[in-house]
């Protein structure tokens, strides 16, 4: 008789197959009717199974790539929502402070009791309205939950409409105080532009606030908005905020990056030829030095700074497979893009330093977004934000350069 599993011929009295060990418990009738599969058929079945498994593996790989691309897109949209609302928050915070200072400045002027009283009320109400918008944009930027993104978004246009209503009501006070009401049209338009930009990003993200408006009763919708605001204000939340998800994803990305680059870095660092291409990094850059040398050289030092900065960052972050443009690329692309490439260049360096810091056992808090926000918002503070951004880049580069020199014994 034959083994039912491998087809090997065995003795009629055998209880086990001597080749594969399968137990043989066939009756004579079963043994007579059993016909083992030819080896060619078994080989074809095996090839079909292998082919099916390869197709399944390829399909899984494609699905993982699609999911990774979708996750990266969602993360970019989340960052865009945060950046837009944070910029609007800073703008309204600036106007809030302006109105507060304007209200208290009235006390120093002798405009009469009536003008002082009505002017103070006018400026304080404007400041309170703008402070409310600052809080709403801040909550949307940093304290929103994924499940309440739509509710917090709907609070923004409602707050902006109330802000407009307050300014319309303040016009009679302006005539009573004999003081002109501060212009609000500029930042009112900025507020609506921010809301439109946030709405566009939300629609790209797959969120549809208009569906909630159409399917929810006004009273229930208003209650949901109020609850979302109160929970965002509360420091103790059961559901993680978007920032919590972002931090968790950042930690996971850092761990995966460590695991993926550790082996390659170990192999490269063990070779003498690779070590001989290294050079000692400059570790004593400073913002004060940058400013003084630019003054002494009439700005020429900034070009040398860009050249050495790009060179050192490309060396420090060589494991990520990217490349930061050097001086020629910086000058040419900044010229043809009217300066926009310089902002991208700064953003890219900040991001690369933050993403590759774990290789040297360092975790940097500031990334490219932080640096870019300081550059963009620096114009509101007499350009000081640009110097803060430069200080962050210099400080982070120095930290990685020190660790780099220690790693290579320089």
| C-alpha torsion sign, points 45, 49, 54, 60 | positive
Structure tokens, 305 = 């700074």
Cα separation, 55 vs 61, in Å, equals 10
* pLDDT score, position 181: 42
DSSP string, 19-33: TT--B----HHHHHH
pLDDT the model gives residue 193: 85
Distances (CA, A) of 328 to 217, 305, 332: 60, 13, 6
How far is 160 from 157, CA to CA, in rounded Å? 5
Q: What is the pLDDT of residue 177?
A: 47
* pLDDT score at 267: 52
| Angle between helix 113-142 and helix 218-233 axes, rounded to 10 deg | 90
Per-residue pLDDT of the chain (410 residues; tens, 9 = 90+): 677 677 777 777 676 777 777 766 554 555 555 555 555 555 666 677 777 778 778 888 888 877 777 777 777 777 888 888 888 888 888 888 888 887 777 766 655 666 667 777 777 888 888 888 888 888 888 877 777 788 888 888 888 888 888 777 766 655 544 444 445 566 678 788 888 888 887 887 777 777 777 777 778 888 888 888 887 776 444 555 555 555 556 555 655 655 555 555 555 545 444 445 677 888 888 888 888 888 888 888 888 999 999 999 988 888 888 888 888 888 888 888 888 888 889 888 988 998 888 888 888 888 888 888 888 776 666 667 788 888 889 999 998 888 888 887 76
Q: What is the pLDDT of residue 225?
A: 83
pLDDT of res. 133: 87
pLDDT value, residue 175: 55
CA distance 387 to 86: 20
What residues does each domain of the chain span? 74-239, 278-407
> What does the radius of gyration of the chain's CA atoms come to, in whole angstroms?
33
pLDDT at res. 243: 55
Q: What is the DSSP letter of 109?
A: S
The answer to whether the beta carbons of residues 378 and 389 sit under 8 Å apart is yes
Q: What is the pLDDT of residue 272?
A: 42
pTM here is 0.46
Q: Are 364 and 354 in contact (CB under 8 A)?
A: yes
């Amino acid at each position: 008789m034959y083994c039912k599993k491998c087809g090997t011929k065995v003795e009629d009295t055998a209880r086990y197959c001597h080749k594969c060990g399968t137990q043989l418990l066939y009756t004579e009738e079963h043994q007579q009717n059993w016909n083992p599969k030819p080896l060619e058929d078994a080989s074809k079945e095996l090839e079909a199974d292998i082919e099916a498994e390869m197709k399944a593996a390829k399909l899984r790989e494609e699905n993982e790539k699609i999911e990774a691309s979708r996750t990266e897109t969602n993360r970019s949209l989340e960052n865009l929502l945060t950046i837009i609302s944070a910029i609007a928050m800073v703008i309204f915070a600036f106007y809030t402070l302006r109105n507060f200072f304007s209200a208290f400045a009235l006390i120093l002027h002798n405009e009469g009791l009536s003008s002082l009283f009505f002017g103070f009320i006018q400026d304080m109400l404007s400041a309170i309205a703008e402070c409310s918008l600052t809080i709403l944009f801040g909550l949307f930027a940093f304290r929103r939950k994924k499940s309440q993104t739509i509710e917090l978004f709907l609070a923004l246009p409602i707050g902006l409409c109330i802000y407009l209503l307050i300014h319309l009501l303040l016009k009679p006070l302006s005539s009573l105080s004999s003081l002109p009401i501060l212009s609000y049209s500029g930042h009112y338009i900025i507020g609506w532009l921010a809301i439109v930009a946030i709405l566009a990003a939300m629609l790209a993200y797959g969120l549809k606030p208009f569906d909630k408006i159409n399917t929810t009763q006004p009273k229930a919708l208003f209650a949901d908005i109020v609850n979302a605001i109160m929970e965002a204000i509360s420091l103790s939340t059961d559901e993680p905020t978007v920032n919590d998800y972002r931090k968790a994803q950042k930690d996971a990305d850092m761990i995966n990056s460590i695991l993926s680059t550790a082996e390659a870095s170990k192999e490269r660092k063990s070779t003498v030829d690779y070590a001989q291409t290294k050079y000692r990094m400059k570790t004593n850059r400073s913002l004060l030095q940058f400013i003084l040398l630019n003054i002494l050289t009439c700005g020429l030092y900034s070009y040398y700074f860009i050249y050495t900065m790009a060179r050192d960052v490309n060396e420090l972050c060589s494991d990520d497979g990217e490349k930061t443009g050097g001086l020629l690329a910086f000058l040419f692309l900044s010229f043809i893009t009217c300066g926009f490439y310089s902002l991208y260049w700064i953003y890219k360096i900040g991001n690369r330093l933050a993403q590759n810091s774990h290789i040297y056992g360092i975790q940097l808090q500031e990334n490219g977004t932080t640096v870019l926000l300081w550059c963009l918002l620096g114009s509101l503070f007499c350009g000081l934000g640009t110097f803060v951004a430069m200080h962050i880049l210099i400080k982070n580069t120095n930290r990685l350069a020190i660790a780099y020199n220690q790693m290579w014994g320089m």
